[in-house]
Each structure stands twice: as structure tokens, then as C-alpha cells.
Structure 1
Amino acid sequence: MTTHSAWLPQHRKSAGTARTMLRDFLADPVPNGELFACDAEVILSELVTNALLHGRSGPEQLIFIRFDLSPALLRIEVHDASGKPPTLAPVGADEECGRGLLLVERLSRDRGFGPREGIGKLVWATVGPEA
């Protein structure tokens, strides 16, 4: 299994930084990493954005991301300092935001959340190779 993790600041550019880290992680020498890329980038971006919007914020609060890749599965984790569980809320057709967890649900093989060591939670999703 190949693993990468990093801490990101509570900043609007952190989702983009996380996507770049994922692209670099899935590039060579990871065998077949590109097979996970499209869905994984959307999922990661949505999970980091949710952590930024709904996690506890402050200059001392960081977001932790982790990628674990086996030959058939990529696991993405995003940790934040909020213990509040992620919720899939109904969204009106005219609303511009609020569909992130729906995208995660539709694009991932499996997903969930749980407490992390210390304070807060981790939200995770798994992605399989795209056809």
C-alpha cells in the first residue's frame, strides 16, 4: 500500500492544494494511479471544502488529508476539528451550493465518518479504478 498525508491551513486555496497533492501522488511511480484521478479529485475537493466550511475554523485549526492506495482501491481521508457529523441535506434546484456530499455519495464506492484521535472527526471515501 502506498500512503501520503499532509496538513493544510484553513484557507480557501486548500482544496486546490489538496487536488495538486493528489495528482502528484497518483502520478508515476504509482502503478495505475491515473485510473483513480477524476472521481478522486472531485471527492477530495468536496471533502476539503466541507471541512473548510463546516469544521471549526481559526488560525490554529488545520485540516489533515491522507491518501492510501492499494492496487484496487484509493481511500481518501479528510480530518477536521469539528465533531459534528457530515449531513446530506436537501437542496433546492436553484441553490448554488450544498451538493458536495451528494457528489461524494455518487462517485465513491463507500464512504463514512468517525471520531479521530483527539478532537474532531475524519470523513473518508473509497474510489475504485475508473473504466
Structure 2
Amino acid sequence: MRKTLPLSPAPTEHACWLPRHRKSPGAARQELRCFLADHPDSENLLPTGELLLSELVTNAIQHARTARGRLIQIRFRLVCGLLRIEVHDADSRTPALRDAMDSDEAGRGLLLVHELAQSWGSCPRRGGIGKFVWCHISPEAAAA
């Protein structure tokens, strides 16, 4: 008699390393899509999650003062329906919101994170090398 194994639950955590390269925001979005594929709130979390993840990865690529060849780590976690996104880099400088001029072509990424995330912040990494920037996205806020 053939035995059917129960389906394993969707993962609640995921992490991977990406190079500091202009294509990494797209790769990070793909990782998030795969992570959320089997979660019931994915349609509410994905659009905002992709946008904020792209901003945080882009900031790590463009603004982190790190040695050549250093990687960026991205982490996702689902806790009670809340999506936590983390982007780790080897630069210990804390990111700060700034006012962008109307004519500026950049400088609004953290403002988007500040406005669209339920909460966000930055913490030093274990071991003292670098930091990670995190944000929380709730399905209710993302769907609004």
C-alpha cells in the first residue's frame, strides 16, 4: 500500500547571501517571491515587501563603505503574519532619513521604508562587523 506523506509547512525563515552588484535587488525580490509563494498573506505582503527590500538592498550596495568582495545577507521571517525583512552589510554606519530636494534623483529610499513599514530600524551585527537594517510589514498595512 502506498503511503502519502503530509505536505511540509511553508518555511517561516529564509536567508541568503548576495553580491554587492546592481542586479542584486532583483535577485532579492525573487528570493522573497519564492519565500512567500505558499503563504496565505503573500498577495498582501509581496508588493510592499518587494519595494522595501529593493530599497534596503540598493542602499547596502550604494552606500555601504565596505571592502571589495563583501557580500550582503538578506533574511526574511514570518511571525504571526508579520513579515520581517533584514538586510545585512559590513558597514557599521547607521542609516538616517534625510530630506531630498525636488531635483534630487535619489535619497528617498529610507523615506519609503519609514512610510510603508509598520516599523523599521538598524542594529549592529553580532561579532561587531557591520549592521543590519530591518523592517516589519503587516498584511493589513500592506493591503491599504
The TM-score, its normalising length taken from structure 2, stands at 0.85
Residue 99 of structure 1 pairs with residue 108 of structure 2: yes
Q: Mind listing any 5+ residue stretches in structure 2 that lack a counterpart?
A: 1-10
| Partners of 1:48 and 1:72 in 2: CA distance | 23
CA deviation vs aligned residue, 1:42-77 (integer Å, no higher than 9, x gap): 100000000001113444300000000124200000
The residue identity in structure 1 corresponding to 2:34 is D
Of 34, 40, 48 in structure 2, the residue corresponding to residue 39 of structure 1 is 48
1:10 equivalent among 14, 17, 20: 20
Q: What runs of 5+ residues in structure 1 fail to find an aligned partner? A: none
Which residue of 64, 71, 79 maps to 1:70? 79
- Following the alignment from structure 1 to structure 2, what is the Cα–Cα distance between the partners of residues 66 and 5? 4
Distance in 2 (alpha carbons) for counterparts of 1:10 and 1:19? 15
State, as a whole percentage, how many aligned pairs show the same letter: 52
Partner of 2:37: 27
Q: Could you tell me which amino acid in structure 2 is paired with residue 114 of structure 1?
A: C
How big is the shift at 1:94? 1.0
**Pairing partner for 1:49 from 58, 61, 69:** 58
Matched AA of 2:114 = E
User: How many residues end up aligned between the 2 structures?
Assistant: 130
4+ residue stretches of structure 1 with deviation over 6 A? none
Post-superposition offset of 1:11: 0.5
TM-aligned CA deviation for residue 14 of structure 1:
0.4
102-111 vs 31-40, greater mean Cα deviation: 31-40
* Segment of structure 1 superposing worse, 68-77 or 78-87: 68-77
